[in-house]
Amino acid sequence: MSTNSELINKPTSTKSKSSMSSTLIQLQPYDEHNQSLEAHVHPPGWVNPKPSGEYHLVVVGAGTAGLVTAAGAAGLGTRVALVERELMGGDCLNVGCVPSKGIIRAARAAASVRDAEPYGVHVPQGVEVDFGMAMQRMRRLRSKISPNDSAKRFSEMGIDVFFGKGSFVNDSTLRVTREDGSASELKFKKAVIASGARASAPPIPGLDTVSYLTNENLFSLTELPQRFGIVGSGPIGSEMAQTFARLGSEVFLFERGPHLLPREDSDAAAVVQNHFEHDGINLFLDAVDMKLRPEADGGIRVQVTQKGEAKEVVVDQLLVAVGRAPNTEGLNLEAVGVRYDETGVEVNDHLQTTNPRIYAAGDICSIYKFTHAADFQARIVIQNALFAVGPFGKKKASDLVIPWATYTSPEVAHVGMYEKDAAEAGIEIDTYVQPLRDVDRAILEGHDDGFVKVLTKKGTDKIVGATIVAENAGDMISEITLAMTAGIGLSKIGSAIHPYPTQAEAIRKLGDQFSRTRLTPWSKKMLAMLLRWNVGN
């Protein structure tokens, strides 16, 4: 069995995560790269500043939402305090977007070597993946990126950075308590809750008897699990299933629903599923009644029922990739009249909580748990909390057009409505699909197993949603997001010249598809008359 017992063979539960011990559990192994990361995002020996009078804004949490709020407000001349209890940069830098994309890149490199033969590239037998080196590269690059989110950088912006646990005393005071028991009291005019969310786990029988991973400690692995079980085929589960399979693990992916990526377009999920099968992933779809049991050798026995048939496998490591819980513990929100529940803090469309002096942004309050969503919600908070006058100048979160992407191979990107959303809302739509098998660049790249699908309001070119399945779908979706944000119709996209050959040409082709629908019998007759006139003259 290939494991790192020092790091991961200890029970890991959502309860222990929420207690937020003083140990920075993500920073393992404690090598030069993680030490450098720590020096930036939670510097040892950091001395909290003396509070400088009443702050215009106190921000609780230094993930994406908190950092953007603090930096934006300070840049506009306001007095800002930023409070973080663990690592600046939040999940994205430390245990989410950044480390996951680092090892996804290594896995794609491995897959490119494995699949090089059809391109005339002959790879010698016996080529191996060095998992430890791939993880070291990820840690090195994460550390390289971390100065952007560092205490030093934000202090140099004029922001007072406090490390410790924030707790509201009243609606004008926040207490920050350090690990040694010392405390600072911050007076404020307005406050922003940006404390984010953390991994949680469903009530699986036997889960409390085994050691398991979440995204919070997955990236501390230094040795590749030989047999790797993953619960949940959402974005994290699917990305990591394909990544670890390509790096050499035997992967078992368990999903309760009938297809991968249960929230995505079923056609898109089917394309990804074909690639998962090519990558050798063992798929357990419609897997219910899961039970877990520890094995004597340290493994984990996973039992499920699949279409009425009992199945079981033994894995060396288990990643639980379902569930998020808001970080509300210890904030003493009751003292300031901020309502919250198990899904997060309650906000209105202006991101204002039930206390009008306190706002929230990011994963703590949003159904869109994406870094880019937190970024733009933070911008709304800055405007509404500091510069709006009554109802004038206020921005709405519902006006945001938020795309997202899952970084499997191929990627799946989406913006706006799905067909089921339109049906539920009673909106009639037209659907345009461009398969990549008819796009020259996709054919030449050998990546023609995908499509671009755009939904428009029936009879018009107004775009209401889109899904893209392609190797670089996350980049391609931005063209459609821009069009939706700016009110640009599908026909206008079709009239914009795209470089040839590119995969983005698939989007332009959909504009041509729409234009052809405008050729009614009457318009065809008029065109024929014009043709005869011009040819005749």
Pairing outcome for strands 317-320 and 183-193: unpaired
Q: Please report, for the chain, the start and end positions of each structural domain, with discontinuous segments joined by +.
A: 40-88+150-199+325-388, 202-322, 410-515
In DSSP terms, 186 is beta-bridged to 174
- pLDDT value at position 160? 98
∠ CA 204-17-247, rounded to 5°:
70
| 410-515, CATH topology level | Enolase-like; domain 1 (3.30.390)
Biggest distance spanned by C-alpha atoms of the chain: 93
- pLDDT value at position 359? 98
Does the bond joining 410 to the residue before it have cis omega, within 30 degrees of 0? Answer: yes
Which two three-digit tokens encode residue 224? 């590749």
| 21 pLDDT above the threshold of 60 | no
| 16 pLDDT above the threshold of 50 | no
Q: What percent of the chain has pLDDT over 90?
A: 89
d(CA 359, CA 350): 9
- pLDDT value at position 477? 98
Average pLDDT over residues 209-226: 96
- pLDDT value at position 5? 32
- pLDDT value at position 533? 77
Which two three-digit tokens encode residue 245? 């399979």
What 8-state DSSP symbol labels residue 298?
S
Looking at the chain, how many residues does it have? 537
What 8-state DSSP symbol labels residue 63?
S
Q: Residue 475: helix, strand or coil by DSSP? A: helix
pLDDT digits (tens, 9 = 90+) for 462-510: 999 999 999 999 999 999 999 999 999 999 999 999 999 999 999 999 9
| 11 pLDDT above the threshold of 90 | no
Total H helices, total E strands in the chain: 18, 23
pLDDT digits (tens, 9 = 90+) for 306-363: 999 999 999 999 999 998 999 999 999 999 999 999 999 999 999 999 999 999 999 9
| 8 pLDDT above the threshold of 60 | no
In DSSP terms, 125 is beta-bridged to none
Instruction: Assign 2 a pLDDT band (cuts: 50, 70, 90).
Output: very low
Instruction: Assign 120 a pLDDT band (cuts: 50, 70, 90).
Output: very high
The CATH classification number of 202-322 equals: 3.50.50.60
What angle, 0 to 180 degrees and rounded to 10, lies between the N-to-C axes of helices 97-114 and 131-145? 140
pLDDT digits (tens, 9 = 90+) for 200-210: 989 999 999 99
- pLDDT value at position 528? 72
In DSSP terms, 161 is beta-bridged to 82
- pLDDT value at position 524? 66
Are 454 and 490 spatial neighbours (Cβ–Cβ below 8 Å)?
Answer: yes
| 161 pLDDT above the threshold of 60 | yes
- Does this chain's domain 202-322 share its CATH topology with 410-515? no
- pLDDT value at position 12? 36
d(CA 164, CA 486): 42
What type of residue is 163? F
Q: Residue 149: helix, strand or coil by DSSP? A: helix
d(CA 255, CA 237): 9
- pLDDT value at position 521? 73
pLDDT-wise least confident of 5-9, 105-109, 497-501, 525-529: 5-9
Q: Where are the beta strands (DSSP E) in 269-410?
A: 282-284, 287-294, 300-306, 309-315, 317-320, 324-326, 340-341, 344-345, 358-360, 404-406
- pLDDT value at position 10? 34
Q: Is 508 exposed, middle or buried (0-12, 13-18, 19+ CB in 10 A)?
A: buried
Mean pLDDT score of the chain, rounded to an integer?
93
Instruction: Assign 6 a pLDDT band (cuts: 50, 70, 90).
Output: very low
Are 363 and 344 spatial neighbours (Cβ–Cβ below 8 Å)?
Answer: yes
d(CA 12, CA 25): 11
User: For 126-135, which contacts have Cβ atoms below 8 Å and span 24 or more sequence positions?
Assistant: 128/248, 129/224, 129/247, 129/248, 131/221, 131/222, 131/223, 131/224, 131/247, 131/248, 132/222, 132/223, 134/103, 134/106, 134/107, 134/247, 135/103, 135/219, 135/221, 135/222
∠ CA 235-271-278, rounded to 5°:
90
Q: Indicate the CATH number of 40-88+150-199+325-388 among 3.40.50.1010, 3.50.50.60, 3.40.50.720, 3.40.190.10.
A: 3.50.50.60
- The rounded Cα 131 to chain-centroid distance in angstroms is 24
- pLDDT value at position 537? 55
| 7 pLDDT above the threshold of 80 | no
Are 161 and 327 spatial neighbours (Cβ–Cβ below 8 Å)?
Answer: no
Euclidean distance between the first and final Cα of the chain, in Å? 84
pLDDT digits (tens, 9 = 90+) for 399-426: 999 999 999 999 999 999 999 999 999 9
For 256-282, give the secondary structure using H, E and C: CCCCCCCCCCHHHHHHHHHHHHHCCCE
What 8-state DSSP symbol labels residue 437?
G
| 189 pLDDT above the threshold of 60 | yes
